[in-house]
């Protein structure tokens, strides 16, 4: 891999912060975007902006073709059986809310849902909102000392009322890569439907939804080098067809009268209103970038950065790293004894290093860990060993300042 050629595609990596070269280590929150995606957005806005599925004129048909080509591209990328199983949303959060609201409408009072301690709020709060409408029980899988799910506890939570299981493929805090296939297979053996939050997986690894046998799988463009405001819900056709629409409006209908409305076929039943068709079309360029670099290359490079940085960080006095599973993604959440995570993040920013601080939208996980928040450094394919060295030097300087 020619890292310099890759970095040339991301001009933002050349900017300075407080006079220091930017070291961007908040890729778990959002990745940077290569020029081909930005250029595509500019091109589509200046040559092909017209509402999709609405007009017989050329611009509308061209915009429609671009959006629907991306739908087919996404289906191929995750090996969905049909592009009609791909629903475009505004992000992973909206995709999870869609499932909770729409599939949740099929659940009955007394049914049970299983979640895990490591879930992002986006895979907790929508189910709690559903719980307000229906008398449902939510059960929670705990984690062990290294940040892995307790699989024995997972199995023990199932009973005859378990209807749905929701869990992340990769933890946004711990980096833990969960045994998704085994979890799905066990849930199916108990008759439960499974919704997988794949937001932190697809930036780093290939996903085959049919091989996993996932019922629902959700993810975001902006974590995959693509535009913001675009998400994907994959759902098995028979489930999507059984679910009521999530929102009502234009585009998701066949016929409307004041007496009765019939809904459009998949996937449009779940895509009310004008979509972000420009950014959806540009998302295909981000998928091109990932495929050109290759998931094997991405994984090997990020694993090298993860191991190298972890070993160096552990040499800093008072360092505590949360999430030490041998099977983890390129995420390091940490604290330094005697220093507040917010202070660490603020001082690192002054040295040009962008990291995330706080609870990372995972407050229940922080409670389980007995802490209020962490500092989180996360890597992407464009990060370098030199950046890791400069991050460690900055971190050691900050630690010395805060713990003196």
Give the model's confidence band at 105: pLDDT under 50 very low, under 70 low, under 90 confident, else very high. Answer: very high
The one catalytic residue in 168, 195, 361, 388 is: 361
Gap between the terminal Cα atoms of the chain: 41
Residues 300-326, mean pLDDT to the nearest whole number: 98
Predicted local confidence at residue 332, as pLDDT: 98
For 216, the token pair is: 């629902």
Question: What's the half-sphere exposure (Cβ side, CA atoms, 13 Å) at 403?
Answer: 18
Span 48-291: which CATH code?
Answer: 3.40.640.10
With 90 as the cut, is the pLDDT of residue 360 above it? Answer: yes
Residue 1 has a pLDDT of 82
Q: Residues of CATH 3.40.640.10 domain(s) within the chain?
A: 48-291
Question: Over 90: is that where the pLDDT of 144 sits?
Answer: yes
Name 245's Cβ contacts closer than 8 Å, sequence gap at least 6.
Answer: 102, 252, 263, 269, 270, 272
Mean local confidence (pLDDT), 40-60: 94
Q: Which two tokens stand for residue 352?
A: 């040009």
CATH 3.90.1150.10 domain residues, the chain: 3-26+294-403
Least confident residue range of 50-64, 168-182, 189-203, 320-334:
50-64
Q: Write out the CATH class of domain 3-26+294-403.
A: alpha beta
Report angle CA 152, 98, 50 to the nearest 5 degrees: 140
Query: Residue 54: pLDDT band by 50, 70, 90 thresholds?
Result: confident
Is residue 55 scored above 90 in pLDDT?
no
Is-catalytic flag, 195? no
Nearest to 301, CA basis, from 372, 394, 383, 364: 383
- Asked whether the beta carbons of 31 and 329 are under 8 A apart, the reply is no
């Amino acid at each position: 891999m020619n890292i310099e050629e890759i970095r040339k595609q991301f001009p933002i990596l050349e900017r300075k912060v407080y006079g220091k070269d930017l070291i961007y280590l908040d890729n778990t929150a959002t990745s940077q975007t290569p020029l081909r995606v930005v250029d595509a957005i500019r091109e589509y806005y200046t040559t092909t902006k017209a509402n999709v599925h609405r007009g017989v004129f050329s611009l509308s048909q061209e915009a429609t073709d671009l959006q629907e080509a991306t739908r087919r591209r996404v289906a191929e990328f995750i090996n969905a059986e049909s592009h009609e199983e791909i629903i475009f949303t505004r992000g992973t959060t909206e995709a999870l809310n869609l499932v909770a609201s729409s599939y949740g409408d099929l659940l009955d009072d007394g049914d049970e849902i299983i979640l895990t301690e490591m879930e992002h709020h986006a895979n907790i709060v929508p189910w709690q909102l559903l719980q307000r409408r229906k008398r449902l029980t939510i059960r929670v899988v705990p984690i062990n000392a290294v940040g892995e799910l307790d699989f024995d506890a997972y199995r023990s939570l199932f009973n005859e009322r378990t209807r749905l299981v929701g869990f992340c493929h990769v933890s946004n805090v711990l980096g833990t890569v969960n045994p998704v296939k085994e979890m799905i297979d066990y849930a199916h053996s108990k008759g439960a439907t499974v919704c997988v939050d794949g937001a932190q997986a697809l930036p780093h690894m290939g996903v085959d939804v049919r091989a996993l046998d996932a019922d629902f799988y959700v993810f975001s463009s902006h974590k995959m080098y693509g535009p913001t405001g675009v998400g994907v819900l994959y759902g098995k056709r028979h489930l999507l067809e059984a679910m009521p629409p999530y929102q009502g409006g234009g585009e998701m209908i066949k016929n409307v009268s004041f007496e009765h409305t019939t809904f459009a076929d998949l996937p449009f039943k779940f895509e009310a209103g004008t979509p972000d068709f420009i950014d959806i079309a540009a998302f295909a360029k981000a998928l091109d970038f990932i495929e050109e670099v290759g998931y094997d290359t991405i994984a090997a490079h990020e694993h090298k950065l993860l191991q190298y940085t972890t070993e160096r960080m552990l040499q800093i006095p008072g360092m505590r790293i949360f999430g030490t599973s041998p099977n983890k993604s390129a995420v390091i959440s940490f604290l330094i004894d005697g220093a507040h995570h917010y202070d660490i993040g603020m001082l690192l920013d002054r040295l040009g290093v962008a990291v995330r601080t706080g609870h990372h939208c995972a407050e229940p996980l922080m409670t389980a860990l007995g802490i209020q928040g962490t500092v989180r450094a996360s890597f992407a394919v464009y990060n370098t060993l030199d950046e890791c060295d400069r991050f460690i030097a900055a971190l050691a300087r900050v630690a010395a300042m805060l713990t003196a």
